[in-house]
Structure 1
Amino acid sequence: MFGLDLKEIITVGMVLFAVIDIIGSIPVIVDLRSKFGHIESEKAAIVSGVIMITFLFIGKELLKLIGIDVHSFAVAGSFVLFFLALEMILGIRLYREQEAKSASIVPLAFPLIAGAGTMTTLLSLRSQYATINIVLAILGNIIVVYAVLKSSSKIEKLLGENGLGVVRKTFGVVLLAIAVKLFAANVKGLFI
């Protein structure tokens, strides 16, 4: 009915969960809380959800406007995901954020939650999955993001530094496999 597919929703949800990496971002969130005090979890979750859903619907048209096809964007996105995965697995930073002035919208909602990797992933996923399933996966992830933001200090204490490292590296490997799959699925489209 309406293209709903639970398997697709779960698959897309897991991909987005790995890319957003909200669990791996807990140290950053805790640092932001210490710098800026209270973080508006509701505001950050809603704004990031709106950004993702908006980009899902207008991203392809925006690409057409500037003359880029979805296959090219997906291949480029696979490289972004590849480097994000390397950051997660190796514990290095290849991309440096600018210093934040406020915490709820920038850098939390954008670019930490709904950043370049998430945008690239959304358009790549749109070429393979039904839009309704992607939207539901986004909403599911926003609920998880909100819950994590609300309870980040408790999660940090529960997992500890080693636990957070294991979670981050595990999702890094998953993300690396997703990057390879996206590349393989879209690189053929560049030569057609």
Structure 2
Amino acid sequence: MLDFFISAAVTMLVVLDPIGLAPLFLAVTGGLSEAERRRVAWRSSGIALAILVVFGAIGAPLLAALGISLPAFRIAGGLLLFAISFEMVFGRRTERKPDTAEAALREQHLHNLAVFPLAIPLMAGPGAITAMMLLAGEARGEPALLAILFAITVAVIASCLAVYLAAERMDRLLGVTGNAILTRLLGVVLTALAVQFVIDGIKASFFT
């Protein structure tokens, strides 16, 4: 049980990388107010947690029943992430002032942003979903081990939320110029990450 706990904790921390999500959160939510960022942080964390728990419980049978492979999941996630990274590099995600749309459209935008790309695929992405299913398989249906896995997942997601909530301070330190530079640099990093998702999916589909 201790070995499983250590393995699960290290795996989930490495895969989700809470510290590494902070600058990505700042870049993706550029132009939002502090209150709106907090709402997006809570929603994205809750959505990501729900997705990971569901896939840990019934992920493998569900994908098998739908005829969806994990490599296909990686390719799809990579393509979606590439679209967001493209907008970040060219500064198209920074113009989000409330007076440019009605309140209903603004609220819908916040909901969408919490779902994609924050919850999916940055938090509950192909890597995290795969890790959850693999660790759940190692548990072999034992309630105690599954409870440990889900508790670790909750703790890691909570750490991601804490990082998100503290990201506003980092935003104030960076300033307008720093944020503009950071957004474009991270857009390039996200582009590379998206391409890597696609490459991994293609390799797993055709070369294994």
Q: Same fold (TM over 0.5)?
A: yes
How far apart are the structure 2 equivalents of 1:156 and 1:102?
A: 25
Task: Give the Å deviation of 1:168.
Answer: 0.9
Aligned pairs for 1:29-178 (under 5 A) are 29-30=32-33, 39=36, 41=38, 44-58=40-54, 60=59, 63-64=63-64, 66-92=66-92, 100-101=103-104, 106-108=108-110, 110-116=111-117, 118-121=119-122, 122-126=124-128, 129=131, 136-148=155-167, 152=168, 155-178=170-193
Q: Structure 2 vs 1, CA of residues 119 and 140 (structure 1 numbering), >3 Å: closer, same or farther?
A: same
Q: Structure 2 vs 1, CA of residues 6 and 187 (structure 1 numbering), >3 Å: closer, same or farther?
A: same
**Deviation by residue 1:149-175 (Cα, 9 ceiling, x = unmatched):** xxx4x6554322211011112221221
1:179 aligns with 2:198: no
Q: Which has the larger radius of gyration?
A: 2
* Residue matched to 1:21: 24
Aligned length: 175
Check whether the contact 1:70–1:123 (CA below 8 A) recurs between aligned residues. no
The TM-score with structure 2 as length reference comes to 0.63
Instruction: State the one-letter code of the partner of 1:139.
Output: A
Q: Give the helix-richer structure, 1 or 2.
A: 2
Check whether the contact 2:82–2:191 (CA below 8 A) recurs between aligned residues. yes
Q: Structure 2 vs 1, CA of residues 156 and 62 (structure 1 numbering), >3 Å: closer, same or farther?
A: same
Task: Give the Å deviation of 1:82.
Answer: 1.6
**Deviation by residue 1:5-39 (Cα, 9 ceiling, x = unmatched):** 54762453169717x83212454312xx6xxxx65
The Cα RMSD (Å) is 3.7
Check whether the contact 1:74–1:186 (CA below 8 A) recurs between aligned residues. yes
Check whether the contact 1:126–1:134 (CA below 8 A) recurs between aligned residues. no
How far apart are the structure 2 equivalents of 1:58 and 1:125?
A: 15
Secondary structure, counterpart of 2:92 in structure 1:
coil
Q: Structure 2 stretches of 5 or more lacking a match? A: 136-148
**Deviation by residue 1:42-70 (Cα, 9 ceiling, x = unmatched):** x6543322211111233546655544222
Task: Give the Å deviation of 1:125.
Answer: 0.9
Secondary structure, counterpart of 2:25 in structure 1:
coil
